[in-house]
Amino acid sequence: MEKRLNKKDFDNFITSLRGKGYKTIAPKKDNNLIVLDEVQGGGEISLDHVITNNSIKEFFFPKTEKVLSYRMEKNNVQIEEPEDFAVKSVIFGSRPCDAFSLPVMDKVFNWDCSDKFWVQRREAVTIVTIACDKCDTYCFCTSVGLAPDAKGGSDVLFTKISGDDYVVETVTEKGESLIKEFEGVFSDPLSEASDRQVATVEKKFEIEKVKSWLDENFVHTVWTDFSLKCIGCGACTFVCPTCHCFDIVDECTMTKGDRVKNWDGCQFKMFTMHTSGHNPRSTQGERWRQRIMHKFKYYVEKFDSILCVGCGRCSRVCPADMNISEMLEIIATEASQPGNKE
Ligand X SMILES: Cc1cc2nc3c(=O)[nH]c(=O)nc-3n(C[C@H](O)[C@H](O)[C@H](O)COP(=O)(O)OP(=O)(O)OC[C@H]3O[C@@H](n4cnc5c(N)ncnc54)[C@H](O)[C@@H]3O)c2cc1C
Query: In the window 259-288, what residues touch ligand X (CB under 6 A)?
Result: 275
**Distance, CA of 342 to CA of 338 (rounded, Å):** 9
Which residue in the shown chain puts its C-beta closest to ligand X? Answer: 275
When asked if residue 47 is in the footprint of ligand SF4 (CB under 6 A), the reply is no
Torsion-angle region of 185 (φ positive above 0: left; ψ -120 to 50: alpha; else: beta): alpha
Among 14, 240, 293, 331, which residue sits at the site for ligand SF4 (rule: CB under 6 A)?
240
Q: The sheet that has 89-94: what strands, in order across it?
A: 2-6, 165-170, 156-160, 125-130, 89-94, 23-30, 33-38
Q: Which residues on adjacent β-strands are paired with residue 158?
A: 130, 168
Residues 116, 278: contact at Cβ < 8 Å? no
Among 313, 327, 328, 331, which residue sits at the site for ligand SF4 (rule: CB under 6 A)?
313
Torsion-angle region of 264 (φ positive above 0: left; ψ -120 to 50: alpha; else: beta): beta
When asked if residue 311 is in the footprint of ligand SF4 (CB under 6 A), the reply is yes
Nearer to ligand SF4, 4 or 220 (CB): 220
Among 37, 133, 181, 247, which residue sits at the site for ligand X (rule: CB under 6 A)?
247
Least CB distance to ligand X at residue 174 (A):
37
Nearer to ligand X, 172 or 272 (CB): 272
Which of ligand SF4, another protein, ligand X, none lies near 267, with the C-beta cut-off 5 to 8 A by kind? ligand SF4
x-or-dash pattern for ligand SF4, window 249-268, by CB under 6 A? ------------------x-
Which of ligand SF4, another protein, ligand X, none lies near 68, with the C-beta cut-off 5 to 8 A by kind? another protein
**Cα–Cα distances in Å, from 27 out to 46, 53, 103, 185?**
6, 9, 21, 20
**Distance, CA of 276 to CA of 272 (rounded, Å):** 11
When asked if residue 94 is in the footprint of ligand SF4 (CB under 6 A), the reply is no
Considering only CA atoms, which of 335, 98, 42, 318 is closest in space to residue 207?
Answer: 335
Residues that bind another protein (CB under 8 A): 67-68, 70, 72, 75-77, 79, 81, 108-109, 111-116, 119-120, 218, 244-250, 252, 254, 257, 259, 261, 264, 266, 271-276, 278, 280-281, 286, 290, 293-294, 297-298, 301-302
When asked if residue 201 is in the footprint of ligand SF4 (CB under 6 A), the reply is no
Phi, psi of 161 (to 5 degrees): -120, -145
Residues 79, 68: contact at Cβ < 8 Å? yes
When asked if residue 27 is in the footprint of ligand SF4 (CB under 6 A), the reply is no
**Distance, CA of 58 to CA of 49 (rounded, Å):** 19
Interacting residues with ligand X (CB under 6 A):
247, 249, 275
